[in-house]
């Protein structure tokens, strides 16, 4: 009997957890570039409407931005969706990964410059008001 | 269109400005040494490293010379101006981030608030120099249009930089005006009287050498 109770209890707990975690997983409403490691940013945060941006830019492949690298080579067919950029670009043993500020700047600005679309000057992204 | 202008100002124009700056500097110094060799050989005979360095160092210390103590306001403004005009662009966070994005190089930078104050100092000092040129009769007598133009040339990247940094109205245009004016200023240094940036060690050094080695006197 106690075993049955324990089993049911675990099941309920798991379901509760799943319900609680669900909203955290749904990436529907991203409106700004935010990374937990930016504790005292020197510039205003960058507004970034994930879905609207990707629709406008025609980005279907998540791995274009959410890339994975191994030994300096981009891993085709794999992505880093759900990870924060800082997980690779901020850690001490980051295996030559570009540092976080540069990672954002090169990723956003690099694409905008090469496509001649989107903001490229500092204050076009880091808006003070 | 904006992307094309921006990439031009952010890439090739920066290279061009730095090449003219460095090439012009080498050219001007070489030409000056050649001219001195031809017309003023005595400069080489009396140039003395010890007296030259003594004079240069002395003139780099605020209020170390009699003349500086006689004109305390001018001395204060001139020192604050020169420190700010050199240090602000070199140690500005935004500039360093651009270098970092291009070459993955970075160095110590000024807090933005300090850079703001130093920029304001540069602009205010340019205003002070302008008033001085207008109001003091002896300085006014020596002033030509090129002096006023030079002041505007120096002030403009600082005014536009401050404007752009605070994102006041017209941001993208002002930002590009800032980049262009900075590049023009850099390229103009060797070919205007801003060349004193490179000539001052030689002129000051020679004065020090002559005063120290020939007249056995101090030149401050």
Domains located in chain A, CATH noted: 28-125 (3.90.10.10)
Q: Do A120 and B6 touch (CB under 8 A)?
A: yes
Q: Is the pTM of this model over 0.80?
A: yes
Does residue A48 contact residue A32 with C-beta atoms inside 8 Å? yes
Q: How confident is the model at residue A23 (pLDDT cuts 50, 70, 90)?
A: very low
Residues of A in contact with B3 (CB under 8 A): 112-113, 116-117, 120
Q: How confident is the model at residue B85 (pLDDT cuts 50, 70, 90)?
A: very high
Per-residue pLDDT, A19: 55
Kindly tell me the burial class for residue B209, based on how many C-beta atoms sit within 10 Å of its own C-beta (0-12, 13-18, 19 or more).
Answer: buried
Any CB–CB contact under 8 A between B113 and chain A?
A: no
Q: Is the pLDDT of residue B68 over 50?
A: yes
What's the rounded mean pLDDT across residues B138-144? 94
Per-residue pLDDT, B36: 92
Q: Which among B7, B104, B164 has CB closest to A113? A: B7
Q: Is the pLDDT of residue B152 over 70?
A: yes
Q: Is the pLDDT of residue B102 over 70?
A: yes
**CA-based nearest distance B151→chain A, Å:** 27
**CA-based nearest distance A26→chain B, Å:** 32
**CA-based nearest distance A36→chain B, Å:** 21
Q: Is the pLDDT of residue B185 over 70?
A: yes
Point out which residues pair with A74 in neighbouring strands.
Answer: A69
According to CATH, the topology of domain B2-206 is Fumarate Reductase Cytochrome B subunit (1.20.950)
Per-residue pLDDT, A72: 82
Calculate the CA A15 to chain-centre distance.
Answer: 26
The tally of CA atoms less than 13 A away on the side-chain side of residue B64 is 13
- What are the sequence ranges of the domains in chain B? 2-206
Collapsed DSSP state (helix, strand, coil) of residue A73: strand
Q: Is the pLDDT of residue A121 over 90?
A: yes
Please write the tens of the pLDDT for every residue from A76-99: 888 999 888 888 887 666 566 788
Q: Which among B101, B104, B175 has CB closest to A121? A: B175
């Amino acid at each position: 009997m106690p075993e049955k109770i324990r089993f049911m209890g675990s099941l309920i707990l798991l379901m509760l957890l799943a319900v609680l975690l669900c909203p955290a997983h749904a990436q529907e409403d991203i409106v700004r570039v935010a990374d937990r490691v930016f504790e005292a940013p020197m510039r205003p945060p960058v507004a970034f409407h994930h879905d609207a941006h990707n629709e406008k830019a025609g980005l279907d492949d998540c791995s274009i931005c959410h890339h994975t690298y191994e030994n300096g080579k981009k891993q085709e067919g794999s992505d880093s969706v759900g990870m924060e950029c800082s997980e690779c670009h901020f850690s001490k043993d980051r295996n030559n990964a570009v540092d976080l500020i540069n990672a954002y700047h090169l990723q956003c600005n690099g694409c905008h410059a090469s496509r001649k679309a989107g903001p490229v000057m500092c204050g076009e992204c880091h808006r003070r008001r | 269109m904006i992307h094309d202008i921006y990439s031009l100002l952010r890439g090739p124009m920066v290279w061009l400005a730095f090449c003219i700056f460095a090439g012009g500097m080498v050219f001007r110094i070489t030409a000056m040494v050649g001219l001195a060799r031809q017309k003023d050989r005595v400069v080489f005979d009396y140039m003395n490293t010890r007296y030259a360095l003594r004079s240069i160092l002395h003139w780099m210390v605020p209020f170390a010379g009699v003349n500086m103590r006689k004109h305390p306001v001018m001395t204060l403004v001139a020192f604050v101006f020169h420190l700010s005009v050199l240090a602000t662009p070199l140690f500005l966070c935004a500039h360093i981030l651009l270098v970092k994005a291009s070459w993955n190089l970075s160095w110590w930078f000024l807090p933005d608030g300090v850079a703001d104050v130093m920029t304001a100092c540069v602009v205010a000092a340019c205003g002070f120099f302008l008033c001085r040129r207008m109001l003091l009769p002896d300085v006014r007598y020596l002033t030509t249009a090129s002096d006023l133009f030079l002041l505007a040339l120096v002030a403009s990247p600082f005014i536009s930089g401050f404007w752009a940094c605070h994102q006041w109205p017209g941001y993208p245009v002002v930002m590009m005006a800032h980049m262009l004016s900075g590049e023009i200023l850099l390229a103009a240094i060797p070919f205007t009287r801003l060349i004193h940036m490179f000539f001052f060690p030689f002129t000051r050094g020679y004065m020090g050498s002559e005063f120290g080695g020939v007249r056995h006197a101090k030149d401050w």
